[in-house]
Structure 1
Amino acid sequence: MNKVRMAEKRLFNGFNTRAVQSGELRDPRFGNVTTPIFETSTFVFPNSEKDAYIDNTRNLPYIYTRWGNPTVQAFEEKYASLEKAEHALSFSSGMGAITSVILALAERGDKILSVSDLYGQTFYFLNKVLPEYGISVEYISTDRLNSGEFKPSDYDIIYLESITNPTLKVPDIKAVSERSTGKKIIVDATFASPYNQNPLDLGADVVIHSATKYISGHSDVVMGVFSTNDKSIFDKVVVRRKTFGSNPDPIQSYLALRGIKTLGLRMEKHNKNGMELAKYLRTEPRISHVYYPDTEIGKKVLRGFGGMISFELRPELDVHVFMRNLKIPMVAASLGGVESLITLPVETSHSSMTKEERERIGITDNLVRFSIGIEDHVDLIDDIKQALDKASES
């Protein structure tokens, strides 16, 4: 039975078919349509049943949920199918995935090259925590990275975000990987989602997502996930997850499993809304700059551009008045849900950085990050217009 489930990820070609069908744990003895929640901390072990289900992190029957759980594994197999990966593992948060993967692959004395425009907590981990382990990190702008202004032989690992947070620049993963043979390339592809990009196909060794965002899609889950085609990398990360205890619980995994089934349908709407809002904002005189990843490189490495857009209000406008007067987006951190959210990176995702560090990567006090939901784009545009009117009057 377990082998049949693993084979399903290669059985279907269509994204939405794989999203619905892959990884599901269906037992004909019950005839269940959806995967059950195995809310159990422990399992009978040794399990001598001939048809015992197998924990794929150990290739043995399940023993303890911190090590592996059937509901958790069903989600991992479904995600692996969409990422077109051989192996996947989930975590209690996106940062759990990032820290576990990097500490599994980096050793004392190693040097990492990272894009400079990063999620704030990732920057803190790379900049403050890794040096305590004897691991050094150097930073490069996405523009310089794409121009090839780095020497791959100087580094052991290259760390990228598929679309950077919050300035939405796009690294050319394919070109970087072709120049960096033998180096481990890690890509946080949260903003792209597996619907818009599969970094392993572009030459990356590891893909990470905050499954809290687009993958789950409903602002009710905190999870992370990683994938790779390299079994040795997978085995190292399995040990870190088991040791650090950063595994997700079965209920969170069930919610993520449910959410990911509609990822393709949701991303189609996010992609359409993103393009419509980018088109409008680029013509709006009260907006001084718009960041959206529909660039030449974006067109090369992305299949769609997603529902994240950042923009700067002109300095004479009060950004807080603008945000307070929006009726549809809620002012809240996080992103990738069906409902629109808006936030100031200086107050949330990048608040741990100094003002100088933020300004170096283009994050100003008037920069707004908008996670566009699946509402109708006409209503979202009208809402932005009326909120800008209020800010102009203040």
Structure 2
Amino acid sequence: MRGFNTRAVHAGELEDPRFGNVVTPIFQTSTFVQPNSSQEPYLDHATGGPFLYTRWGNPTLQSLEEKYASLEGARHGLSFSSGMAAISAAVLSKVREGDRILSVAELYGQTFHLFSHVLPRYGVKVDFLETDELNKLEVRLKEYKLIYLESITNPLLKVTDVRGISKLASENDVPVVVDATFASPFNQRPLELGAEVVVHSATKYISGHSDVIVGVSGTNSDQTFKDLVGFRKDVGGSPDPHQAYLTLRGMKTIGLRVERQNSNAGKVATLLSQSTKVRKVHYPGLRDSPYREVAAKNLSGFGGMVSFELRDEDCTKRFLKTLTIPRSAPSLGGVESLITRPVETSHSSLTKEEREKQGISESLVRFSAGIEDPEDLLEDFQRALSSC
């Protein structure tokens, strides 16, 4: 198999020798001629037949899905209109009324809302277990229809033992779904660790430029892929061709971007860990991180995210106001550094009690490392720390 960066550039590209195009075109069309009279029509991998309607499939979407599948090490890839659409499809295509799901407790805020407020209305029960308890591999799984994990949790960066939990789940014939958004396919490929489905908010590291909302999922199971395709068709969570094109373009540099983001995050985390203005740093790459060992078993890189707690809320606000390079904004994974307080963004939909239970304080800051020169980032952080 060719290397990661080679596949990122070339896999999935739709090159028609009749035109000699180097880049996959945007097939900005809602419908296709039916029946297709061509003797050798291009086939939609989601249906096995000629393209019919873009909600079902589209050549630009398919190029994105094939490139993503190559990087994920998946037999099948599918794209969605958002990460939450990908998550919803992965979960709802697997469960029915009366089923129970076991989920990691420290979820992305919107996923937590889906699991705690929406699914129960349809008769699906969700039990939550903290990452540290799940990682003990002592939980009984036979009563569950599905296990849902985040490879690196948001925003405290706890690392889930995907390999160990997937092995235990396999012994109990329970499928595992992993949201690997924070890791990206460059740092982790959960299917290789035993998961049945992996999902990403491709808005983040996969597209990498903060200019598109899109989701993807991957699986090696033919039946699971068929179920995901059917759910997307029924619910309508397909991206449009322009979304797919931007993601396809951004994905070509994912290896270069994430390698730099891993490095920048590690350097910032080290700086923060040495400051008396910082109470705690959450980064699995630090030598004293409680997740260093499990990260080494499940990740090939420690990621581009760092979260940390400054000494109080006033210090936090001065720090954020003083920074000049990271923009204060939600989301993550783009080429530009971003910084935010989770209480104001990713976890604002949770109650104060729910946030406190997850350890999300008013002074917690989440940093997404971009690809800027590390010297500039470190100087900017040092100056902002001095303001406290």
Which of 296, 317, 320 is the matching residue for 1:299?
296
SS of 2:93's partner is helix
Distance 2:206 2:328 in 1: 21
Helix, strand or coil at the partner of 1:73: helix
Alpha-carbon offset, residue 178 of structure 1: 1.2
In the TM superposition, 1:55-134 aligns within 5 A as 55-134=44-123
Question: Who is 1:167 aligned against?
Answer: 156
Given that 1:43 and 1:64 are in contact with CA atoms closer than 8 Å, whether structure 2 keeps it comes out as: yes
Match of 1:284 in 2: 275
- Given candidates 357, 366, 372, the residue that maps to 1:360 is 357
Say if 2:325 is the partner of 1:328.
yes
Contact 1:163 1:293 in 2 (8 A): no
1:39 matched to 2:39: no
Return closer, same or farther for 1:28/1:360 CA change in 2, 3 Å cut-off. Answer: same
Q: Identity, % of aligned pairs?
A: 58
Which whole-Å CA distance do the structure 2 matches of 1:86 and 1:178 have between them?
Answer: 20
Equivalent in 149, 156, 160 of residue 145 of structure 2: 156
Match of 2:337 among 320, 335, 340: 340
Deviation larger for 143-152 or 59-68:
143-152
Closer/same/farther in 2, CA of residues 60 and 86 from structure 1, 3 Å limit: same
The structure 1 residue matched to 2:385, chosen from 379, 383, 388, is: 388
Separation of aligned partners in 2, 1:154 and 1:361: 25
TM-score (normalised: structure 1): 0.95
Count of aligned positions: 380
AA paired with 2:152? Answer: I
The secondary structure found in structure 2 opposite 1:126 is helix
| Structure 1 stretches of 4+ moved >2 Å | none
Q: Which amino acid aligns with 1:212?
A: T
- Which residue of structure 1 aligns with residue 348 of structure 2? 351
Deviation at 1:177, TM superposition (A): 1.2
Give, in angstroms, the shift of residue 112 of structure 1: 0.6
Cα distance between partner residues in 1 of 2:369 and 2:328: 12
- 1:316 CA drift (Å): 6.6
Matches of 1:333 and 1:118, distance apart in 2 = 16
Q: What letter matches 1:375 in structure 2? A: E
Matched, 1:264 2:252: no
Shift of 1:318: 2.7
1:13 is paired with a residue whose SS is coil
In the alignment, which residue of structure 1 is the partner of 2:216? 225
Comparing 254-263 and 292-301, the one that deviates more? 292-301
The amino acid across from 1:252 in the alignment is: Q
Per the alignment, residue 4 of structure 1 pairs with none
CA distance in 2, matches of 1:380, 1:106: 45
1:255 is aligned to 2:252: no
Letter in 2 for 1:298: A
Aligned to 2:19: 30
What's the CA shift string for 1:86-106, capped at 9, x where partnerless?
011100100011111111011
Residues 176-220 of structure 1, C-alpha deviations (whole Å, 9 max, x = no match): 111112101000000000000000000000000000000000000
How far does the alpha carbon of each residue in 1:328-381 deviate from its partner, in whole angstroms, 9 at most, with x for none?
000001000000000000010000111111111111010000001001112111
User: Which of 292, 300, 306 is the matching residue for 1:309?
Assistant: 306
| CA distance in structure 1 between the partners assigned to 2:154 and 2:3 by the alignment | 29
Which residue, out of 229, 232, 235, partners 2:226?
A: 235
- Under a length normalisation based on structure 2, what TM-score does the superposition of the two structures give? 0.97
CA–CA distance in 1 between the matches of 2:89 and 2:97?
15
Distance 2:145 2:89 in 1: 17
3-state secondary structure, aligned to 1:107 = coil
Counterpart residue identity of residue 207, structure 1: V
Q: Secondary structure at the match of 1:159?
A: strand
Conserved in 1, the CA contact under 8 Å of 2:313 and 2:362? no
For structure 2, the 5+ residue unaligned runs are 286-291
1:199 aligns with 2:190: yes
Please list every run of 5 or more consecutive structure 1 residues that lacks an aligned counterpart in the other structure: 1-11
8 Å contact kept, 1:42–1:65:
yes
Q: Distance in 2 between matches of 1:155 and 1:362?
A: 27
Letter in 2 for 1:180: A
Offset, 1:107: 1.0
